[in-house]
Amino acid sequence: MAIIVNLDVMLAKRKMSMNELSERVGITLANLSILKNNKGKAVRFSTLDAICKVLDCQPGDLLEYRPDEE
């Protein structure tokens, strides 16, 4: 997939654990792991909004476009 989720980078910058983010955002740790490991097919804007609020970042800090190699 061409969209990469850089959640681990932002968590490291904010010195926050996945467990803490999960609790503060109100998303299960399993679903957060799916996002972090680039296994998700979609993300709700409400979830992205909540993650950005907690991590004090922009959506572009979390999401990156990399064209697929052909």
Residues 16-56: pLDDT tens digits? Answer: 999 999 999 999 999 999 999 999 999 999 999 999 999 99
Residues in the chain: 70
Q: In sequence order, what DSSP letters do the residues of 2-51 get, joined into one string?
A: -EEE-HHHHHHHHT--HHHHHHHHT--HHHHHHHHTT--S---HHHHHHH
Residue 68 pLDDT = 77
**Contact (CB, 8 A) for 32 and 55:** no
Band the pLDDT of 67: cuts 50, 70, 90. Answer: confident
pTM of the model: 0.89
